[in-house]
Structure 1
């Protein structure tokens, strides 16, 4: 752009390549509830913004290509840290996928990170470098999880999107100091590791109870609760913390039962639900468990239950396709905007589009892993804006993450204090109606309930206890 370098130099912004290429076009579009990108302020030179916005009609790939060439042309990109070369940034994602109990269990986490990487690479890369994803399968094994962490520490710049049931061995993770942005840390050890910053922080002493308050207030004839919890110790601990929080605000417990992940016979469980007169049934396992439970309940003609409730893992098309009419009426809460409202939030549309483009499947673990990528992306943008693309270091990312207190993933999530690792308390309640996920609360599309009253201090479950 004629005269641009002179004008930037006059304002001390002559290091144009130190700004991530996305910033050259951010803020041109305002879709739904997406907030204008605050990094546009860094480039508050009228000619830059006007020039970018005047190119709206050009294709995304053309804009990204131009931005990439502008960024790298005048900067000698360097290998700045583990996993960073002049041309690439290696990012790891760890998830339980290949295993005999639940094949493909958390594959959508792989899909979410792949979608994020494709989106970033289309738009100029991360700090001017191509993102290369290493998918590390922890295979529902403590040893495989530890091996995956060690491999990532040795080869990758950061870990994002992790979800592994046996994630409590954190010594190697902490020792190597790699930025760790998991999508769903399960163990308390992982949640509280000093270099771990989830996009949706959790705290065992503070639970999100807004969804239970909504059920109590809005579902008639509820809630005498029957609780299915995983029998795997770490997942069991997490489920019991949720159960304790719910019972403390008024959801009763008529019975609690531990269920194995590979349990196929739900007849005794359903007969027990029926005999105890439960009006609220909470399944803390994955969607496959809910499908089996509801199909058996349909066979047994259970009529007393007014609220069938499933954890976030049920927010997947597979619940609908495999459950069919049996899962009608199921309540599922999520911590982000629904996929069905992609037209309202640009970042959700990006997730849906890039997941399809890369051959992945949408799912709760996928969007959370994608969100972890957005969080890393925001931290890197801060680094590049102040220190240039060669300021890309693990320590710089951790410092940037500590300073992020209002992360939304461009409107995917409610405002989240990532730096303080404070649970946001945000949720959207969905219900399966006519084979589709339908928003029931809050009622307005493009909104999310982040009332502070959604959070509740609660009893912390000790390992092996309740």
Structure 2
């Protein structure tokens, strides 16, 4: 399932098409969304050095790059794929903010002249949760790279991606083989062998009396099993003695969550971690807590910071007022004080798109990709991109998030915690809005038993390796 978005969309159309395309059949680029007229590109690129995204000098602008140097690259065009799971029938619009962000950033870049003068043509792919491999099969035949995407079931598509040497700069990865996959670089890395445990250390400072009263909610989904195993090791490193109540929830949902809530109550839990996103099944569990008379501190991934939790909490009497979400990103509420956040909100809002945390994550990865592509000049090949990306070791997306090391696939050593009250999120730790707390102890080397895959000496997953994969020339 795909649709093509090129350089100039009518405001608001990107958001509409992101939803309606979920049911569309495969089709090629829509020529009705053509590039900007050359005169407009030339005017926009008159002073490219003056354009910034937050603190980052824009990687976009006019130039004289030429050559059909690789699949999806011509004298005038660079084709990239992007996407999300917005067509998932059980959670319509899932992670739609990622597709909206990349579509808007493509336009932002093309208005400045593209990358060294080549216009970017983006093809949107809807993974719809179960179609990730079909997406990758389609992308393999036409795209230069995948950029700013994220598919919850990426374990089904990783073998296909690696086999066709489709280099990627995703917004996020889920499965172990994708997280440490070859030819993959992320603005905010999430490798299996190292983790940013800041949220656990910070929650420990916020609730020191609960170190012996927390537990992790287990799931039947393989990728979540891997994630929660890693989370347990991080929690231990942060000083938690988890209760291990033995509660496992079916990823597809339960007929009633009350028995599971009762089990947590009997176990004496006062705090819980979930590796799932804010979807109806998780909300039903929170309702069940209320039904059995407990109100645990609820702690989750950064995906809980967003409209889904905000709107549900407002409609359900504040049952999620105990929600805490750890992040390495700035809050959108800080747009007035953090230039990069304001730039993100402005760029996406001008297109009528949805703004949310994962949209910022997709934006960071797009900017990372564009920064490397600019350095390649006319020699825009996947090999050059791998070489350039592998050399970027300090990255914050212009100020969107804490500093990471994409080139070495290493996460940040900083974080903050947000909390929800009613329909409003606020920064709970550290207390000064717009700041992170950083500490070397936050970077945790996880136990190999939690990785869910085997890594080579270069920390790349070995499962789908073949002799033809692209490695950095210096390696």
- Whether 1:350 and 2:343 are equivalent positions in the alignment is yes
Name the SS of the counterpart of 1:282 in structure 2.
Answer: strand
TM-score, structure 1 as length reference: 0.79
Q: Distance in 2 between matches of 1:157 and 1:330?
A: 40
Between Structure 1 and Structure 2, the one with more helix by share is: 1
Q: Which runs of 5+ in 2 are unaligned?
A: 1-41, 454-475
Q: CA 1:220/1:20 → structure 2, altered by over 3 Å: closer, same or farther?
A: farther
Name the SS of the counterpart of 2:239 in structure 1.
Answer: coil
Look up the match of 2:461: none
Q: Bigger radius of gyration, 1 or 2?
A: 1
Look up the match of 1:62: none
Per-residue CA shift, 1:54-91, capped at 9, x if unaligned? xxxxxxxxxxxxx96xx35xx47443321123333221
Q: CA 1:119/1:261 → structure 2, altered by over 3 Å: closer, same or farther?
A: farther
Q: CA 1:458/1:192 → structure 2, altered by over 3 Å: closer, same or farther?
A: closer
Look up the match of 1:155: 142
Residues 101 and 262, structure 1, Cα contact 8 Å, conserved in 2? no
Name the SS of the counterpart of 1:177 in structure 2.
Answer: coil
Look up the match of 1:402: 390
Among 413, 416, 436, the alignment partner of 1:448 is 436
Name the SS of the counterpart of 1:431 in structure 2.
Answer: strand
- Whether 1:293 and 2:293 are equivalent positions in the alignment is no
Aligned length: 403
1:36 Cα shift? Answer: 6.2
Among 167, 171, 177, the alignment partner of 1:183 is 171
Q: Distance in 1 between matches of 2:204 and 2:119?
A: 49
Q: Distance in 1 between matches of 2:350 and 2:153?
A: 31
Per-residue CA shift, 1:316-341, capped at 9, x if unaligned? 11211122211113101112111111
Residues 102 and 261, structure 1, Cα contact 8 Å, conserved in 2? no
TM-score, structure 2 as length reference: 0.78
1:220 Cα shift? Answer: 4.8
Give 1:134-145 correspondences, 5 Å limit. 134-141=123-130, 144-145=131-132
- Whether 1:213 and 2:175 are equivalent positions in the alignment is no
Q: Which runs of 5+ in 1 are unaligned?
A: 1-18, 40-66, 385-389
Per-residue CA shift, 1:225-258, capped at 9, x if unaligned? 2321332112221122112221343222222422
Residues 162 and 184, structure 1, Cα contact 8 Å, conserved in 2? yes
Look up the match of 2:379: 391
1:377 Cα shift? Answer: 1.3
Moved more, 352-361 or 315-324: 352-361
Look up the match of 2:230: 241
Q: Distance in 2 between matches of 1:293 and 1:27?
A: 50
Name the SS of the counterpart of 2:403 in structure 1.
Answer: coil
Q: CA 1:20/1:344 → structure 2, altered by over 3 Å: closer, same or farther?
A: farther
Look up the match of 1:195: 183
Detail structure 1 runs of 4+ shifted over 4 Å in the superposition.
19-23
Q: CA 1:26/1:438 → structure 2, altered by over 3 Å: closer, same or farther?
A: farther
Q: What is the alpha-carbon root mean square deviation over aligned residues?
A: 2.7
Residues 20 and 127, structure 1, Cα contact 8 Å, conserved in 2? no
Among 33, 39, 47, the alignment partner of 1:24 is 47
1:463 Cα shift? Answer: 4.8
Look up the match of 1:270: 261
Look up the match of 1:316: 306
Name the SS of the counterpart of 1:362 in structure 2.
Answer: coil
Q: CA 1:214/1:127 → structure 2, altered by over 3 Å: closer, same or farther?
A: same
Look up the match of 1:87: 76
Q: Distance in 2 between matches of 1:38 and 1:119?
A: 10
Look up the match of 1:232: 221
Q: Distance in 2 between matches of 1:403 and 1:166?
A: 29
Residues 328 and 412, structure 2, Cα contact 8 Å, conserved in 1? no
Q: Distance in 2 between matches of 1:432 and 1:76?
A: 48
Q: CA 1:435/1:166 → structure 2, altered by over 3 Å: closer, same or farther?
A: closer
Per-residue CA shift, 1:237-295, capped at 9, x if unaligned? 11221122213432222224222333253222222222222111112211124433323
Residues 291 and 323, structure 1, Cα contact 8 Å, conserved in 2? no
Look up the match of 1:4: none
Q: Distance in 1 between matches of 2:452 and 2:304?
A: 26
Q: CA 1:206/1:285 → structure 2, altered by over 3 Å: closer, same or farther?
A: same
Look up the match of 2:407: 419
Name the SS of the counterpart of 2:105 in structure 1.
Answer: helix
Q: Distance in 2 between matches of 1:366 and 1:426?
A: 20
Per-residue CA shift, 1:161-187, capped at 9, x if unaligned? 232233234333223333201111111
Among 272, 276, 280, the alignment partner of 2:271 is 280
Look up the match of 1:261: 251
- Whether 1:360 and 2:322 are equivalent positions in the alignment is no
Q: Distance in 2 between matches of 1:293 and 1:23?
A: 55
Per-residue CA shift, 1:135-176, capped at 9, x if unaligned? 1122322xx322322322221111012322332343332233
Look up the match of 1:128: 117
Q: CA 1:88/1:245 → structure 2, altered by over 3 Å: closer, same or farther?
A: same
